[in-house]
């Protein structure tokens, strides 16, 4: 009950999905972060113990969540962007967009980036889960299924870490929500903020134009608001030009992460050329490849249903990272490609498919959480 009013079934499902999935994740993280490995028993089995001493809980949890890209975002929140002439010979924080670290900085509940970041991420995630059923446009049962699939997607652990994925997902859903209801001011504003959170936010411009055409909206009025979307990225580019001399530093520095423009099929073909190499440093290639094919399949699914906005967003969300020449982190990016879960929610009407999706999702969800606590690089890419 909220203010004496019963919750609608999809909203109940969204809250339940959030509570159950995040409780499971944090229990796994807490146990894993406080697992102590001793000597090996007979040279093969680790002697381990789990100790939840209050003074150690925070520092041990911080060791788990403060990994990978989190340090770049923390650096931006504390010190801003590196002010030096552009060079692609060394990694720089120019590759990371500013809205999330600035939001964590000004949230400032505890002054600890890891804790404040997780607080912001999980608040945004709760908002995203609550908004998702209204954007999905599904019957109640399908919407409930879809939001559970989203909550237990194996890479959804990133949605609770001090990373921008949850905020980005919330803003993307808010932009779709506004466009679906002809509130183009909301679509443009949320889209502009999304484009200030991640470069992929720019995808909303063509996608929402497609949605406006689908809805037979007054194109001129809609387009005027939608032009706010590229303004988010333009503001960041102008700042980078001021401090580095290169407005496209955020894109060109990506070469330090092994990313460069290639045909979108290149990383998939590369994997199938050596399918026995399931994982390489920072890249669980087999899983990322499987997810990429699933996302592309969802794009085809929506195209066959003539849901062109969902089809366009899903396709572009796959093609953008694939065109960087690498499958690295693809599953992380797919965790915010919300139409994928709408397609799975519809497919899950068949009990066998529903059981398969849940079994695979929960198994990998728990496994990835365990790898994260062990700081295995597949889990923190």
**pTM score over 0.85:** yes
Q: Which helix (H) or strand (E) holds 48?
A: strand 45-50
CB burial class (10 A; 0-12, 13-18, 19+) of residue 324? buried
Averaged over successive runs of 10 residues, the pLDDT of the chain (381 residues) comes to 52 92 90 74 71 73 84 94 89 93 90 93 96 94 94 94 96 97 94 97 95 80 90 96 94 83 89 83 86 96 96 96 90 95 96 94 90 69 65
Q: Which of 60, 58, 61, 93 is nearest to 77 (CA)?
A: 93
Q: What is the dihedral of CA 143, 126, 329, 358, to 10 degrees?
A: -40
Q: Which two tokens stand for residue 173?
A: 């859903």
Do the domain assignments include residue 194? yes
| In a domain? residue 2 | no
Question: Measured between alpha carbons, how far is residue 94 from residues 84, 251, 260 in Å?
Answer: 11, 8, 16
Q: Examine residue 49 and state whether it is found in any structural domain, yes or no.
A: yes
CA distance 369 to 298: 26
Residue whose entry in the numeric block shows the structure tokens 């944090």:
26
Domain hosting 179: range is 9-380
Helices (H), 227-327: 229-244, 249-252, 266-273, 285-304, 308-322
Question: Considering the domain boundaries, does residue 256 fall inside one?
Answer: yes
- Residue 306's Cα: distance from chain center in Å? 26
DSSP 185-205: HHHHHHHHHHTTT-GGGGGHH
Token code pair at residue 64: 């788990």
Q: How far apart are the C-alpha atoms of 108 and 106, rounded to whole Å?
A: 5
Residue 151 lies in a domain: yes
Closest CA to 168 of 211, 114, 121: 121
Encode burial over 142-170: b for 16+ CB neighbours within 10 A, e otherwise: bbbbbbbbbbbbbbbbbbbbbbbbbbbbb
In the chain, the number of structural domains is 1
Q: Classify residue 264: in a domain, yes or no.
A: yes
Residue 308 lies inside a defined structural domain of this protein: yes
Residue 43 in any domain: the answer is yes
């Amino acid at each position: 009950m909220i203010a004496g009013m019963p919750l609608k079934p999809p909203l109940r499902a969204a809250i339940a999905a959030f509570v159950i999935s995040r409780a499971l994740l944090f229990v796994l993280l807490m146990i894993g972060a406080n697992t102590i490995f001793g000597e090996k028993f007979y040279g093969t089995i680790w002697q381990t113990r789990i100790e939840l001493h209050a003074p150690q809980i925070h520092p041990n949890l911080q060791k788990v969540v403060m990994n990978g890209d989190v340090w770049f975002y923390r650096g931006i929140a504390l010190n801003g962007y590196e002010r030096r002439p552009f060079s692609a010979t060394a990694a720089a924080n120019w590759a990371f967009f500013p809205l999330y670290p600035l939001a964590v900085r000004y949230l400032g509940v505890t002054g600890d980036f890891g804790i404040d970041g997780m607080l912001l991420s999980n608040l945004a995630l709760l908002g995203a889960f609550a908004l998702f059923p209204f954007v999905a446009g599904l019957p109640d049962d399908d919407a409930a299924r879809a939001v559970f699939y989203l909550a237990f997607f194996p890479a959804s652990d990133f949605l609770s870490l001090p990373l921008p994925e949850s905020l980005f997902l919330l803003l993307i859903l808010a932009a779709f929500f506004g466009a679906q209801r002809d509130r183009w001011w909301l679509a443009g504003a949320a889209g502009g903020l999304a484009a200030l959170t991640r470069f992929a936010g720019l995808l909303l411009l063509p996608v929402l134009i497609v949605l406006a055409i689908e809805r037979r909206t007054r194109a001129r009025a809609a387009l005027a608001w939608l032009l706010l979307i590229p303004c988010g990225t333009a503001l960041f580019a102008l700042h980078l030009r001021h401090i580095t001399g290169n407005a496209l530093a955020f894109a060109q520095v990506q070469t330090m992460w092994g990313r460069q423009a290639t045909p979108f099929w290149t990383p998939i073909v590369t994997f199938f050329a050596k399918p026995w190499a399931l994982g390489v440093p920072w890249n669980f290639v087999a899983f990322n490849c499987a997810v990429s094919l699933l996302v592309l399949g969802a794009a085809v699914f929506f195209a066959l249903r003539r849901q062109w906005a969902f089809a366009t967003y899903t396709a572009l969300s796959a093609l953008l990272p694939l065109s960087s020449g690498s499958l690295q982190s693809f599953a992380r990016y797919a965790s915010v490609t919300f139409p994928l879960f709408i397609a799975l929610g519809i497919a899950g009407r068949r009990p066998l498919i529903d059981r398969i999706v849940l079994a695979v999702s929960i198994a990998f969800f728990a496994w990835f959480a365990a790898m994260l606590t062990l700081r295995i690089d597949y889990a923190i890419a």
